Amino acid sequence: MKKLVFILTITMSLALSNSTKAQETIVDVAVGNDDFSTLVTALKAADLVGALQGDGPFTVFAPTNEAFAKIDSKTLNSLLEVKNQKALGNILTYHVISGKLTATDVVAALKKGNGKVELKALNGQVLTVMEKDGKVWLKDINGNYSAISATDVMGSNGVIHVIDTVVMPK
């Protein structure tokens, strides 16, 4: 009997801890991950935190701090200024797709699309997901590539896929 109570206690503890994590929005997940501190700063500067805490669902291709470090620091600092909030918002919403696309969904779409699928970002521009050299990449409207380095980081209102380069809209 003690063994059964112990097993039930452990099972309930795990279930509760998993349901607590699942209730975190994609913004909460990003805030809780040090690799996304620059992204979180940018989301705050663009006044997009509230929108991405909404019901969604959203798919976010989230650039890491290293991805943002590839941008000239003067340019990045300028984008974070209040006067450039609209331009920053355009860049950040280019990383967000309406709807929840898991890695399984993306792979299925790639198979159906012969290794390529176009997605409409929240800013209205097209992002291309493609398979190249055995990896899955994002290709922006300017022809630049960003590798998808991690997938299916789940939040209550969507999913995050980690990318290694900030993609840029026109």
Which tens digits make up the pLDDT trace of 4-35? 333 333 333 334 344 445 589 999 999 999 99
Look over the chain and give the mean of its residue pLDDT values, rounded to a whole number. 89
Residue 93 lies inside a defined structural domain of this protein: yes
How many Å is the maximal CA-CA distance in the chain?
Answer: 66
**DSSP-derived pairing of the beta strands 158-163 and 58-63:** parallel
pLDDT at 6: 34
pLDDT at 159: 98
Higher pLDDT, 11 or 113: 113
Q: 81 Cβ partners below 8 Å, 6+ apart?
A: 45
Residue 110 lies inside a defined structural domain of this protein: yes
Cβ–Cβ < 8 Å for 21, 13: no
The domain tally of the chain equals: 1
Which tens digits make up the pLDDT trace of 38-52? 999 999 999 999 999
Residue 13 lies inside a defined structural domain of this protein: no
Q: Would the pLDDT of 99 be above 60?
A: yes
Higher pLDDT, 6 or 68: 68
Residue 19 lies inside a defined structural domain of this protein: no
pLDDT at 22: 54
CATH code for the domain of 52: 2.30.180.10
- Its pTM stands at 0.85
Tell me which residue range forms the domain holding 37. 24-163
Q: 116 Cβ partners below 8 Å, 6+ apart?
A: 110, 128, 129, 130, 131
